[in-house]
Chains A and B, each alone.
Chain A
Amino acid sequence: MNQIIGVEGGPTGPPSMRIHPRARLALGLSVLGCVPLLVLPGIAAFAVASDAERRIWASEGAYTGHDQIRTARRLARIGIGIGLATLVAFLIFTQRHGIGTVREVFFKPEFLRGSFPKVLKGFWLNVQIFFIAEALVLVWGLVLAIFRIAPGRLGAPLRWFATAYIDIVRGLPAILTIVLIGLGLPLVELPLFKDFTDFQFAILALTIVYGAYVAEVYRSGIEGVHWSQTAAARSLGLSYGQTMQHVIVPQAVRRIVPPLLNDWIGLQKDTALVNVLGTLEGFNLARNYNSNHSTLTATTVLGFCYVVVTIPLARLTDTLLKRDQRRTTGG
């Protein structure tokens, strides 16, 4: 290693020529990164080298070169390159023999074509469930959040209810709640729920589950609005409810759009869980197709459908976030 960099100064060497302990570590890591054919040590070495460089220049003031740091960075980069190349070679090598089977299982063209209309029909049901549940969740989540932070003695039962609800629902796996609601409620024959279809039960169950998550998102947004806003509104004579309605919630909603959309993406994907209710939605139709044709291709197709819907939503989240940042930082 000393030969590689050739600048090892003993304890008597000038300070700028002494190898910084961090640089030594970076060099070691970068060599490691080349040898066991992995990328990660290379990346770690690069990070350590950069950090060491920054620290040295920060602590010693003047620019002194520090060749060993630059060498370490270069070696780290080479380590990353070799690691990546090896990884790709390894993947190609192992996949050459198995690639035929992979296509058979996941991407068989005739099954792709054959299953698409059926899967799409089922997926359309997921989309409907999603959109309706979404709208209901927005309202239900806000109601729960308002309950959760209801003030005073009068609000105590509301707070208690909302806290218990959110704790329990968030503590349960979504699929359990869906089974309990979707399969259990029809058996109880409650007046209102007696005539629900499984489609409606699916929406109800997802609303109950995601209402709890979204309530917490709302709450964090509401609590994130600085208390001085409440002070200003209350001092003008606005009541607690008016302050919430006109001052706090509008500001909270603006800042929770990104985490809210995150939960929407979760909800979109979890519409697949309602398959346990026997609803003929995407997942079940894909599974039927698969078992008739000994393949998983229909599920791949369904996965494609999901991604096509969720990715635009993720991009929308980014766009809204950026626009919001632009607006709040002023023009």
Chain B
Amino acid sequence: MTFLEVRDVEKYFGTNHVLKGITLDVDEHQVICLIGASGSGKSTLLRCINGLEAIQAGSITIDDLEVTQEESRLNFLRRYVGIVFQSFNLFPHKTVLENVTLAPRKVLMKSREEAEAIAEPWLTRIGLWEKRNDYPDRLSGGQQQRVAIARALSMQPKLLLLDEITSALDPELVGEVLTMVQELAAEGMTMLLATHEMGFARDCASSVVFLHQGVLLEQGTPDQIFTNPTCEPTQQFLKRVIEAKRI
């Protein structure tokens, strides 16, 4: 069943045309990887789906509810669409536990105890329950990013958007975050992720989407895209990636 429908989406930043008629479907339990060079519109697309950016034409529908800039609708939608950012964006003035429990308490109106009961299994699973009372600046980048993922998951989202979540990490910390995403994928979480980790995309994605200068150029199984890309820009992009040893 189609869970997320993106139809002919156009997005401008001023005169800069960043998304040009993007159309994309995401079914439940699918893991879709968005690949493409920097500035191809991957992050913007994710931010539009979450309503953090307004679109100028087309439509985005999540679970039969259209994403608009209407305040109450966005607040409702965001309860089950989580997003994790490249730069973690943890709340620096709150402890790990407070970061994870804030949204359940304030948005889902859970009591502190209930919210902590939601947070505990996630924090235990990422091995940071012991550090629950630390502030984010005491954690490594990988730990912070895992907390950020736990924070998004604490809202029990039906769709998780991951915006280049390993790009700001030191290479040796990438693995621990990707492993966590892999486990989520195996558990059936519906995910749409922008990534530069081609190896990860090849192993985990149910479908890979190549964006080029705001246009969705190609979509297919990882096999099709990585071994048999049909479009010229896709071939060039993958060639550069291979040369940079990112695959």
Tell me whether B59 is interfacial, beta carbon within 8 Å: no
Which residue of chain A has the shortest Cβ distance to B137 in the bound complex? A330
**Complex Cα gap A287–B222 (Å):** 87
Tell me whether A254 is interfacial, beta carbon within 8 Å: yes
Tell me whether A95 is interfacial, beta carbon within 8 Å: no
* Partner among A228, A237, A239, A246 whose Cβ is within 8 Å of the Cβ of B89: A228
* Partner among B50, B79, B91 whose Cβ is within 8 Å of the Cβ of A247: B91
Inter-chain contact A235/B71, CB cutoff 8 Å: no
**Complex Cα gap A152–B93 (Å):** 27
Which residue of chain B has the shortest Cβ distance to A245 in the bound complex? B106
Given A228-B89, A232-B89, A237-B75, A331:B82 Cβ within 8 A: no
> Can you identify 11 A-B contacts, CB atoms within 8 angstroms?
A231-B89, A232-B85, A234-B78, A235-B52, A235-B81, A236-B107, A240-B71, A246-B102, A246-B106, A250-B93, A254-B93
Inter-chain contact A235/B92, CB cutoff 8 Å: no
Residues of chain A at interface, number, CB under 8 A: 22
In the complex, the number of residue pairs spanning A and B with C-beta atoms less than 8 Å apart equals 64
Q: Chain B residues near A152 (CB, 8 Å)? A: 71
Tell me whether A50 is interfacial, beta carbon within 8 Å: no
Q: Chain A residues near B81 (CB, 8 Å)? A: 235
Tell me whether A174 is interfacial, beta carbon within 8 Å: no
Q: How does the 8 Å CB contact mask read for A236-266 relative to B, with 1 for contact and 0 for none?
A: 1111101000110011001000000000000
Which residue of chain A has the shortest Cβ distance to B81 in the bound complex? A235
Inter-chain contact A239/B75, CB cutoff 8 Å: yes
Residues of chain B at interface, number, CB under 8 A: 28
Return the 9 tightest CB-CB contacts between A and B, nearest first.
A232-B89, A236-B103, A237-B107, A237-B78, A235-B83, A228-B89, A237-B79, A330-B137, A242-B106
A-side interface mostly:
helix
Inter-chain contact A231/B52, CB cutoff 8 Å: yes
**Complex Cα gap A254–B135 (Å):** 15
**Complex Cα gap A242–B92 (Å):** 16
Q: How does the 8 Å CB contact mask read for B204-232 relative to A, with 1 for contact and 0 for none?
A: 00000000000000000000000000000
Within 8 A of A (CB), among B85-133: 85, 87, 89-93, 102-103, 106-107
Which residue of chain B has the shortest Cβ distance to A226 in the bound complex? B89
